[in-house]
Structure 1
């Protein structure tokens, strides 16, 4: 009996050691030091949207691109310096990731309310939740207490999930940060708003996998529409709605699009069209129930927000999200 109790105690201790940083995150982290931080961030995000209808999707995407590279530590926000190679110049982010000026504005508003208290990493987490909810999506209690990195990882950023990744590659990249197939299918639903450039899917329209033909899984009517928007040899930066039916609204339209073979990116359609895909049943359940999607999306965003946060005395609270503190 004593031996088994010792084993259980050791297992709990090991679990706490492995997940201690996650356990330190709390929705009440700023209750005494910056109790209105969520409202300040939400107001700033809403203000930004009045002049930029794309910003909700862009801020949500920044949180993804931060968390998938060494955890949710604000590293995606750092500019180039003599000692830092910015993640902004990584292939998945360069001329694609946006919203950095808005993050600066949010940081200014938060600093005016609570100087030196709230990390840029937590601002990204709060901005993502506000963006999803303001666009018509779910709300959730954001776990807080992250601190900011003092380094960036461009190599890691170059390995972010890509629009032309196969399902197995996506599963591998998600598993590497302890996210499962449900998280993959659920978080991909963020493509229910926002835009994508022609260059990210043009291969599906004309020369899929070197076949000289379009992607056979692409709805032919949708294919014709996309070929008009993205002619062969045309401007690869032209923007296209990820969800043509409701491009700026957070809903379950992404999944009903997949069911009609109208996913814009290869990585989207792969979730349903790959033979034997373990994600297919999840896609179908979300297409039939927006409530289920919203519930799971909130949980998966919390799961993603728990990826390797810096807490306690690790990292710092940056005064400027673009650069580490001097001294």
Structure 2
């Protein structure tokens, strides 16, 4: 893993090299309890899996321009809770509340119907083969690429969990988190500062509800004042979008410049104090960011190529969080919403 203390340019170069190395090394798959993820996992059992998911997403975006950002968020929120095992997709059953119903997900996590459609298409083509966890990983990569971002070799071979973890989902990274909390949450999953800054770049497209930014506009840290790091003209714009006592679910572009394009404008916005979420701006403006995350923000703002290379590697890193490959503990669900 690239050290978070490396210079940003060296980090990006190393990330690109690691992406290539991963691609070269993942040509052989082994199944079983100690199996490793690999790109060609479905080559013999469901060779059209990627293309099938791709077509479902191409169809979905015609009626839902937000879907690509929503799908990458599902993958993120799944991986951060007991690993990338599709536990987020399970509906509630007696004795096992769904992660969907926890505060970080309820009313904001979306795209489940598209995952269901991808699963149905895959079950029609190759019954009982492609896991829901792998669908999320494939859909995240396709969503980024179709939005103008980088592509990467998606490592596959995950099984689906038989349990969800409602309590674990309560500890997902939050929009109000400061840099120290963010770094700790990522470190707990063996993700470093480069991963934190790169994966936060997923906020370069998509929408956010007013309820996640009103504290910054009107009562930052309980002061009854706005966040002093927020650009004044941008704050005035946001107060028009999210007035006091307005609709908390009203939507705003995470990136007001190119809201549906995957690019590095997220970082150029942060450079001029226009990060919409506190957790975004903390990467640059926190006193603790100097010498840690701020130089990485600077580099990604200056070079989209560096951002793309690091983002691709960080997505691979995140996708490797506690992969479930032991058939005695996991399964390939036939319906992503419930265990078999």
TM-score bucket of the superposed structures, by smaller chain: over 0.9
Please tell me whether the aligned partners of residues 34 and 326 of structure 2 are also in contact (alpha carbons under 8 angstroms).
no
SS in 2 for 1:240: strand
Alpha-carbon shift at residue 83 of structure 1 (Å):
3.2
Within the candidate set 24, 39, 52, 2:64 is matched to: 52
Aligned twin of 1:284: 298
Q: Deviations over 1:108-159 (max 9, x none)?
A: 1111111100000000000000000000000000000000000000000011
Q: Which residue of 1 aligns with 2:323?
A: 309
2:333 is matched with which residue: 279, 296, 318?
Answer: 318
Q: Aligned-pair distance for 1:234?
A: 1.0
Contact preservation (8 Å) 2:204, 2:263: yes
Change (3 A) 1:295 1:21: farther
For 2:262, the equivalent position in structure 1 comes to 250
* 1-structure distance, mates of 2:187, 2:60: 34
Partner of 1:78: 90
| 2:113 equivalent among 98, 101, 122 | 101
Q: Equivalences for 1:145-184 in 2 at 5 Å? A: 145-184=157-196
| Contact 1:22–1:309, Cα closer than 8 Å, also in 2 | no
Select which of 69, 74, 96 maps to 2:81: 69
Instruction: For 2:219 and 2:101, locate their aligned partners in 1 and report how far apart those are by CA, in whole Å.
Output: 28
**CA shift for structure 1 position 262:** 0.2
Give the number of aligned pairs.
306
Unmatched tracts of structure 2, length 5 or more: 1-31
Cα deviation, 1:205-250, whole Å, max 9, x if unaligned, reads: 0111111110000000000000000001111110000000000000
1:292-325 Cα deviation digits (max 9, x unpaired): 0001100000000000011031300000000000
| Distance in 2 of aligned mates of 1:280 and 1:107 | 40
TM-score when normalising by structure 1: 0.92
8 Å CA contact retained: 1:21, 1:308: no
Q: d(CA) in 2 for partners of 1:236 and 1:22?
A: 46
Q: Contact (CA 8 Å) 2:35, 2:325: kept in 1 or not? A: no
Q: Distance in 2 between matches of 1:58 and 1:306?
A: 20
| 1:276 CA displacement | 3.4
Partner of 1:196: 208
Shift of 1:186: 0.3
State how 1:78-157 maps to structure 2 within 5 Å.
Answer: 78-157=90-169
The answer on 1:297 being equivalent to 2:311 is yes
Does structure 2 retain, via aligned residues, the 8 Å contact 1:125–1:142?
Answer: yes
- RMSD across aligned C-alpha pairs, in angstroms? 1.1
SS of 2:287's partner is coil
